[in-house]
A and B are shown apart, each in its own frame.
Chain A
């Protein structure tokens, strides 16, 4: 099971905007470079991209909550 980690500390968001759907839902295919989430660091939004391909399993981090650098944000099924 591949994990997608946060490269930065900040606030985690699974949606591009509050009124939109999450980037990925269970079963979605994930390509390398797909945006999986946003992390807001010092008022700047950084896109977190997948570094391996697979099928999206779940978000691990909680939407709108703090994450540390290296925290697991999401998991892919093998």
Chain B
């Protein structure tokens, strides 16, 4: 491997995670930090640390020239972007490479291609990966549109081809309704964009969010099975699982194989995730987008497969071949991760960046807590509210939920409000236990006051 000095261009729990992976690989870790992050845990644990600017992320963690210059000055030979910040910036990947360092991720070209929704959809179709059924392009006549709608299957979403911002979007459940709504959508599109062209897409009902972890070395690619992340609030994942128990084995195989096919088609290098919508009524999955980085919820995959994904992505980006073949990757049991945010779930999730006065971390088999906390640590208010991730691994899903409940009871973070109360309520909820939920389940559940009922504060 051609990496000896790894510059970590991120913060928080993922920076701690990358430092740990670097240590295990015998690589020197150089941690970037803003003026507000001088006493964060990753700075204490890394071999070296470099200040990259003021608290505001745009002047530090998002400053491409500043980060590249800092990494060069620190004699780094590689840069790990983590997730968020510059992790999916093609310009950053290019700047790192042009400065003579390795970017721990795919090439700038791949980031660009997979980051563009239309280009990613085209790449998926070319690789034989199913996408949400839709019209091939714009349609101008209502009769032609109705014909395509019948092929796609109802309910159908009618969008303005020139669209954006939700203007002109209608959902039709039947052809009669379609013939009533499509002219309205066209008139609205004409008024808003001066272009009455329509685009049709199947409206997936009660979609589940399922994603596949892949890893490539530029030549070969493998998958590490799937995760389900359907419990979401404001499009943010709240609770993630591996695997997705709603899938039968044949569907799981098809899904994971499709992800590998797309990764191979783009000569993927590094860790990546393909996100899909799953329609359980039809037992069909549709590719929606690819994330060209390590994800927040990668630990659940590590728990069920036993592989260290962060070490592996550093190795393959450093020039090594994949250390495993597909048949060596197996899964066992079920894992759940819950995101602990410094927010008050009883006060509309208002951020609560306090000082950690006490910290008790649950211990035991099958329990992992990825975080950046220590007693006395003042959480800065300038960044994301994620402060840690509690991950449990059980024999099956019910066992994992029971372990999660027990681990949440043993977790104590003094001085802060956190979303632990939400996770305790979810772990005890019968619908969560049944697994019968989808991406639009959690918000109505919260609106109905289930959280206050569960915690007795109503």
Contacts and interface: CB of A to CB of B under 8 A. Distances in A.
A41 interface: yes
Interface stretch (B75-83, B297-305, B379-387): B379-387
22 contacts: A8-B351, A8-B353, A8-B381, A9-B381, A10-B353, A10-B382, A41-B351, A41-B381, A42-B342, A42-B343, A42-B381, A42-B382, A42-B383, A42-B385, A43-B385, A44-B350, A44-B385, A46-B350, A64-B56, A66-B56, A66-B381, A66-B382
Interface in B48-70: 55-56
B36 A41 contact: no
B381 A10 contact: yes
A46 B385 CA distance: 15
Contacts of B36: 66
Interface string A29-59: 0000000000011111010000000000000
A43 B55 contact: no
A74 B44 CA distance: 37
Interface residues of B, number: 13
A43 B381 CA distance: 8
Interface of A: 8-11, 40-44, 46, 64, 66
Contacts of A46: 350
B353 A42 contact: yes
Contacts of A10: 353, 381-382
A43 B343 CA distance: 12
Contacts of A66: 36, 55-56, 381-382
A9 B379 CA distance: 10
Nearest to A44: B351
Contacts of B384: 42-43
A23 B353 CA distance: 26
Given A8-B381, A66-B382, A41 B353 contact: yes
| Interface of chain B, main secondary structure | loop
B351 A11 contact: no
Contacts of A44: 350-351, 385
Nearest to A66: B55
Given A8-B353, A42-B381, A66-B55, 8 more contacts: A8-B351, A8-B381, A10-B353, A11-B55, A42-B342, A43-B384, A64-B56, A66-B381
Contacts of B351: 8, 41-44
Among all A-B residue pairs, the 10 with the closest Cβ atoms: A42-B351, A42-B385, A9-B381, A10-B381, A41-B381, A41-B351, A44-B351, A66-B55, A42-B381, A42-B353
Nearest to A39: B381
Contacts of B342: 42
A46 B344 CA distance: 14
Contacts of B353: 8-10, 41-42
A8 B343 CA distance: 13
B233 to A, nearest CB: 13
Contact of A11 (B350, B382, B385): B382
A47 B353 CA distance: 17
B443 to A, nearest CB: 17
Nearest to B380: A9
A42 B343 CA distance: 9
A77 to B, nearest CB: 30
Nearest to B379: A42
A8 B350 CA distance: 11
Contacts of A64: 56
Contacts of B382: 10-11, 40, 42, 66
Interface in B356-388: 381-385
A21 to B, nearest CB: 22
B381 to A, nearest CB: 4
B104 to A, nearest CB: 25
B85 to A, nearest CB: 12
A61 to B, nearest CB: 14
Contacts of B56: 11, 64, 66
Interface in B374-416: 381-385
B227 to A, nearest CB: 24
A42 B55 CA distance: 12
A44 B352 CA distance: 11
A37 B140 CA distance: 47
